[in-house]
Structure 1
Amino acid sequence: MCGIVGYAHLNGGRPADRAVLERMAGTLVHRGPDSDGYFLADHVGMATRRLSIVDPATGDQPIATPDGDVTVCCNGEVFNHAELRARLKAAGHAFRTGGDVEVLVHLYEEHGTGLVQHLNGQFSFALYDRARRRLVLARDHVGITPLHYAVTGGTLVFGSEVKALLAHPLVRREVDPGGLDQVMLLPGLVSPRTMFAGIATLPPGHLLVVEDGRIDVRRYWDLDYPQAAELSPAAAAGDEERFGRLEQALRRSVELRMRADVPHAYYLSGGLDSSLVAGIAAKSAAERLRTFSVTFPDARMSEQPYQRMVARSLDSEHHEVPVTPDHLLDQLREVVRHSECPLKESYNVASVRLSAAVRARGAKVVLSGEGADELFAGYVGYKFDKQTAARATRSRRRTAAGRQPLTAEQRLNQRLWGNPLLSYGQRLGELAAARAELYSPELRSRLPDFDCLARPLVDLDQLRGRHVLHQRSYLDFKLRLADHLLGDHGDRVAMANSVEARYPFLDRDVIDCARALHPDLVLHGFQEKYPLKRIAERYVPSEIVNREKFAFHANPSADLLRADRSWIDDYLAPARIRREGYFDPAAVRELRARYAGREVGLNTLFEDDLLMVVVTHGIFLETFDLPALS
């Protein structure tokens, strides 16, 4: 993984300024401490900060074709680069490096913008075709790597992190209330929205093409589940053959992500997903695995016994990374700076401490189990959906008219997801009312302009006619995974310490195998992740396979309030809240009193920590020198 930046004058007149590129790239040294490189031609400038993982000796960027007509800067990895290289060599292409990124320029020569259809990896790249004076930006299929852009003053500015865009003289600093609204109501930000007005995130599976002064943003891939009517009852049986294909794809995915010319490691949460990844890796690893786990002093939050059990079964070199309330207080501002948004939970502190431990012990790559919950019905919401559907079926049988009037919550679900019975987030309507009361009167008056629930957040055509399990999976990919779990919770806190996180469950072939499974096989009765559990029996201790799902927990905002730290009081002070203008001081005071008075912390499975958003929003404003609401 690396950091890329650049800009292009849309009218094609002026050349790019290297000094500007250097300022932009200088904000991303943490993403690429090993080298930097620059490209300037015509009206385009690009730069890379490199974290060298594949071919450290000759793989520096930018990389161009031998004739210099096509040049690329890439953040990420092309895991099938060896196979692509062989095909391209057979077609007559000559390579000058052993790195994975070089295949991009040659694939472009063969397929144009269709090159992305041949890639299995995690990437965002900027490619310039000098002959056509065409600039192409791309983000990988599921959105593992970030890419942000802004169009201002006739110039397109882009970069791997927003802080790089803010280093460009044309990009202004201003909060987008729509981004704040998403953080308040959803798991996190949703592409193309960011927390910054005028700055967008290129959505997963999208290209941005600049040609003849025009910008065209287009989708090249989406998570496309079959229509429910196409699901054959026979597909719910014969699981051994289907699970065998899935296991083969998962083994191949892990092997591809073990490819690196630098040491790599594994996260162990104590749950099924990360344990399965490490268990598969252990079967073919040439060396003893290095594993890393977070531990908490509060036994209700800690999974230490299960982490140690897996580490013993793997005979891994295991490292435990403690996370205490003091760590939360000491590093909260750091994680907000890297996340570039307010946070609803403090687990990012645990994640940044994990990546720091990985890097301190010499590894640059870590494999993680992210993505399995979204593909294999790992969250409790999938069980709720199944129960709700069963109740609705019984109700229709008892009701002569066949329908009951929709509740307010169901009408909201119908508008957002096209399914009144699909409730994404418990009591979203109630949460919407609570967040509106927390906003300042001025911001509340503008709510109709930025209310993130006023219109659909995803492509409803990808939900229409699908099984409810597939509907929720699609929403999890779009609303939870791409910009939250893989973004502020993944890429940002790993790259903060120059560590690349890799996700075997998000391999394209693994996703295709998951798509082909009947929902009744994925959620078998009410047993989540049934296919993975059957596969894991050959790799993971039975106590882990049969363990009940344990949701991630971290210290809630109530722990901040109990701490003797004056700076927390500063962020919640009525005068400061009033001056910033986003929240109502009286509402914040009431929320603080309610949280502080609770003997038991929030149940984060069902409750949203709105006070954490208020605190980290204040940190966010201060960190990025953003103006008060005007």
Structure 2
Amino acid sequence: MCGIAGVFTSRQSTQIDSQILVNMAAIQHHRGPDNYGYCNPTGLGVGMSHSRLSIIDLNEERGRQPFWLEGTIIYAHNGEFYDFQRIRAELTAQGCSFSSKSDSEIVPLLYKKYGIDKTLEQLRGEFAFSLYDEQEDALYLVRDRFGVKPLYWSNTGDEIVFGSEVKVVLAHPKVKAEIDTQGLFHQLIQVMVPGTTAFTGISQVEPGHLLKITRSNGQFKIETRKYWDMDFPELDMRVQHSDDFYISGVRKHLLEAVQLRLNADVPVGCYLSGGIDSCSILGLASAASQEPIKAFTIAFDNADYDETPIATEMAESVGAEQEILELNAELLYDNFERTIWHTERTIYNTLAVAKLMMSQQVRHVNYKVVLTGEGSDELFAGYPAFRKDMFLHGMDGMDAEQAKSWQQALEANNKLFQGAMLPKDEYSSSDINDKVGFTPSCLQPWLGCAGVAKQLIHQTRRDEVAQYEPGQAIAEKLDHNYLAGRHPLDKAQYVWIKTMLEGQILTWGGDRVDMANSMEARPAFLDHKLAEFATLIPPEMRIKGAREKHVLREAVKGVIPETLYNREKFAFMAPPAHTDEKKWLKLKSLLEKFASPVSLEAAQLIDPGFLEILIQRQESDVTSDAEKVQNDALLNHVLGIMILHHLFVAQDVSQLARDKANHLGWRV
């Protein structure tokens, strides 16, 4: 795992400033502290830089990027390719030669031999890369299938500037930081429009997509192309197999995904909560490894949210060496600002802070790589919102009374998460209904905040979103071809994968807080071979009666404790601020620091009067628990927005990048 950066100018004759490329690498030094490199040949109008975290091929010189195949290709890569040894061997047998043992080097050689489309078909893993083809005079920006690895870009008119983080793009002096009004609105309601950011003019390459950028007469032609998507079969195309076919298939594909991700030239550990996902990964990894696996667990100081006892039971059952990080309110909010610097978007819950502190602990004990459980809920319908949609829209023959009974039981068992993982009030978007057939429950808590969010926006900007419908913007980004004719559960999972998985779980719950401490996370469940098999599993095998992730439970029954095998899904999140007086006072003190009336008027992003009303509601005894969960999220988002402004708008990020390069001694 590393960080990439680059500039592609509108004319080949324009020389890229070497120091700017180095500055862009320096500001993401946390992503790759082991080495750096840059490449900007004369007469090409393109340059790339790279900060390296050494995991495969630890030789500093041999693995240095960008790779430059003179006269043909310049290439920089962030991420991991699995099964790369087989591809290397096949290419070597066909006469290709390699300069390193790095997995990264397979791409330029595959590209030269097969072109971009066939190259992407062969890649397995988590990745984002840039590739310039001199013969085509084209720049490719490519992101992995689920968006595990980030990739941002901006068009200044004269340059395409890109990098692994927003701050890398802002390190270029021609890219100025400004909070976008629609982006601000979406920060407040948590759910983002795919491909967007909080910043004006800065976009993301969407998961499973590539950008091909060519130039002619000083103008850019930008082509966006999808190369992969989560393709559930249409209902009339489904083929029914035996239960054992699906159970053994999940077991086979998951074990293969875990085994591939244990491959590294450094030790590999596992994140471990009390959920079936991380426990399954640890169980399979322990079975496949010759040595005990180190397991890393977060412990919260609130018994309602702490999963340490079950995690410890799992660790002991497989002989893992467990490392427990105990976190309290003070630690979480003391590290809130640092977390926003890395997430570059707001967070609704301090779980992001907890994950950042855990990655710090992982590096403290000299580990660089962990396997994680992200993606299991997406593939096997683990979230309570999926069960709600299944009961309401996908249970043929269920009458209204039965559906109501199911819903009441679901909400009673997930009371802690109502207002976040489940809506406190039903919300319907006509635009999403038209595209999907219903408004998935996973979006309802956040779209339902739209009215409050608009009141929170500063009056100087409020008119810009007065008629704006977030549901419409999200619906426009959903591909009808992957929704039409599908089962309601398939649709709900697809919408979550396109929105909350990439925009939340893999961003502020994944790469950004992991790489903040130079640590690589490998989510085995998001192996695309496993995901493609998971699309074939009938909905009633994913959710069987009231039991979520049924097929996964059966597939890993032999490697997890019986307690966990029978346990209902429990969403992993930190205790909200309103549940803890110390935490609430910490949140208020941060709001006083970053969102004081003077700061709010200077930034003109958040309305001071309505923010005060929201704080008063949160302290009122008549406010319901579900409303407090939702208000807690909104207040965290307000704090995040003001910290974003403080860190990225009020400061000159390009100057910060120059200062960082000077501090590191990275001078050209």
TM-score, scaled to structure 2? 0.87
Distance 1:429 1:624 in 2: 27
Report the CA distance between 1:322 and its aligned residue: 1.1
Letter in 2 for 1:578: E
Per the alignment, in what secondary structure is the counterpart of residue 194 of structure 2?
Answer: coil
CA 1:564/1:13 → structure 2, altered by over 3 Å: closer, same or farther?
A: closer
Letter in 2 for 1:493: V
Report the CA distance between 1:120 and its aligned residue: 0.3
Report the CA distance between 1:561 and its aligned residue: 3.4
Question: Residue 85 of structure 1 corresponds to which residue in structure 2?
Answer: 88
Question: Residue 358 of structure 1 corresponds to which residue in structure 2?
Answer: 362
Distance 2:107 2:136 in 1: 17
Question: Residue 52 of structure 2 corresponds to which residue in structure 1?
Answer: 50
Letter in 2 for 1:425: L
Whether contact under 8 Å (2:4, 2:51) holds in the other structure is yes
Question: Residue 556 of structure 2 corresponds to which residue in structure 1?
Answer: 536
Distance 1:426 1:555 in 2: 21
Whether contact under 8 Å (1:63, 1:101) holds in the other structure is no
Report the CA distance between 1:15 and its aligned residue: 1.4
Question: Residue 207 of structure 1 corresponds to which residue in structure 2?
Answer: 210
Question: Residue 28 of structure 2 corresponds to which residue in structure 1?
Answer: 28
1:230 to 229, 237, 247: 237
More divergent stretch after superposition (451-460 vs 524-533): 451-460
Distance 1:138 1:421 in 2: 30
Question: Residue 489 of structure 1 corresponds to which residue in structure 2?
Answer: 509
Whether contact under 8 Å (1:126, 1:136) holds in the other structure is yes
Whether contact under 8 Å (2:274, 2:311) holds in the other structure is yes
Deviations 1:607-629 (A, max 9, x none): 361111111211111111349xx
CA 1:394/1:282 → structure 2, altered by over 3 Å: closer, same or farther?
A: closer
Report the CA distance between 1:425 and its aligned residue: 2.9
Report the CA distance between 1:316 and its aligned residue: 1.1
Report the CA distance between 1:63 and its aligned residue: 2.0
Distance 1:313 1:599 in 2: 46
Report the CA distance between 1:212 and its aligned residue: 3.2
Distance 1:287 1:4 in 2: 33
Report the CA distance between 1:8 and its aligned residue: 0.8
User: Are 2:565 and 1:545 equivalent residues in the alignment?
Assistant: yes
User: Are 2:536 and 1:516 equivalent residues in the alignment?
Assistant: yes
Letter in 2 for 1:624: F
Distance 1:360 1:294 in 2: 15
Deviations 1:423-446 (A, max 9, x none): 443355542222122222232211
- Across the aligned residues of Structure 1 and Structure 2, the Cα RMSD in angstroms comes to 2.4
User: Are 2:628 and 1:610 equivalent residues in the alignment?
Assistant: no
Deviations 1:532-571 (A, max 9, x none): 1001211111111111111122142435432397443233
CA 1:390/1:68 → structure 2, altered by over 3 Å: closer, same or farther?
A: closer
Letter in 1 for 2:380: F
1:595 to 599, 613, 618: 618
Question: Residue 73 of structure 1 corresponds to which residue in structure 2?
Answer: 76
Report the CA distance between 1:413 and its aligned residue: 5.9
More divergent stretch after superposition (569-578 vs 261-270): 569-578
Question: Residue 657 of structure 2 corresponds to which residue in structure 1?
Answer: none
Distance 1:181 1:570 in 2: 22
Per the alignment, in what secondary structure is the counterpart of residue 491 of structure 2?
Answer: helix
Per the alignment, in what secondary structure is the counterpart of residue 86 of structure 1?
Answer: helix
Distance 1:454 1:489 in 2: 26
Question: Residue 412 of structure 1 corresponds to which residue in structure 2?
Answer: 430
Report the CA distance between 1:576 and its aligned residue: 2.7
Whether contact under 8 Å (1:556, 1:601) holds in the other structure is no
Per the alignment, in what secondary structure is the counterpart of residue 280 of structure 2?
Answer: helix
Show the 5 A alignment for 1:318-357. Answer: 318-357=322-361
Distance 2:537 2:589 in 1: 53
Distance 2:429 2:194 in 1: 24
Show the 5 A alignment for 1:224-623. Answer: 224-232=231-239, 234-235=240-241, 238-389=242-393, 409-412=427-430, 414-415=432-433, 417-420=435-438, 422-426=440-444, 430-448=448-466, 451-455=469-473, 456=475, 457-558=477-578, 559=580, 560-563=583-586, 566-598=589-621, 603=626, 607=630, 609-623=633-647
Deviations 1:156-177 (A, max 9, x none): 0000001011110110110012
CA 1:369/1:427 → structure 2, altered by over 3 Å: closer, same or farther?
A: closer
Per the alignment, in what secondary structure is the counterpart of residue 115 of structure 2?
Answer: helix
Letter in 2 for 1:43: G
Whether contact under 8 Å (1:25, 1:48) holds in the other structure is yes
Report the CA distance between 1:287 and its aligned residue: 1.3
When the two structures are aligned, how many residues end up with a matched partner? 614
Point out which structure has higher relative CO (alpha carbons under 8 A, 6+ apart). 2
Distance 2:600 2:381 in 1: 40
Question: Residue 128 of structure 1 corresponds to which residue in structure 2?
Answer: 132
Report the CA distance between 1:597 and its aligned residue: 3.2
User: Are 2:99 and 1:96 equivalent residues in the alignment?
Assistant: yes
Distance 1:285 1:446 in 2: 56
2:123 to 119, 122, 125: 119
Question: Residue 649 of structure 2 corresponds to which residue in structure 1?
Answer: 625
Distance 2:348 2:513 in 1: 15
Distance 2:500 2:611 in 1: 26
Distance 1:181 1:485 in 2: 19
Question: Residue 402 of structure 1 corresponds to which residue in structure 2?
Answer: none
Unaligned runs of 5+ in 2: 402-424, 652-668
Question: Residue 37 of structure 2 corresponds to which residue in structure 1?
Answer: 37
More divergent stretch after superposition (173-182 vs 329-338): 173-182
Distance 1:612 1:567 in 2: 10
Distance 1:36 1:54 in 2: 15
Report the CA distance between 1:68 and its aligned residue: 5.1
Deviations 1:396-435 (A, max 9, x none): 99xxxxxxxxx99445364464313644433555422221
Distance 1:300 1:409 in 2: 28
Deviations 1:298-332 (A, max 9, x none): 11111111111011112111100111100112100
Distance 2:168 2:231 in 1: 33
CA 1:377/1:413 → structure 2, altered by over 3 Å: closer, same or farther?
A: farther
Distance 2:25 2:351 in 1: 28
Distance 1:603 1:312 in 2: 36
CA 1:153/1:450 → structure 2, altered by over 3 Å: closer, same or farther?
A: farther
Distance 1:106 1:578 in 2: 54
Question: Residue 403 of structure 1 corresponds to which residue in structure 2?
Answer: none
Letter in 2 for 1:562: L
Report the CA distance between 1:60 and its aligned residue: 1.9
Whether contact under 8 Å (2:7, 2:161) holds in the other structure is yes
Report the CA distance between 1:604 and its aligned residue: 9.1
Report the CA distance between 1:216 and its aligned residue: 1.4
More divergent stretch after superposition (159-168 vs 573-582): 573-582
Distance 1:20 1:210 in 2: 21
Deviations 1:180-208 (A, max 9, x none): 2223224x434310111000000001111
Distance 2:377 2:628 in 1: 15
CA 1:52/1:602 → structure 2, altered by over 3 Å: closer, same or farther?
A: farther
Distance 2:525 2:489 in 1: 18
CA 1:396/1:604 → structure 2, altered by over 3 Å: closer, same or farther?
A: closer
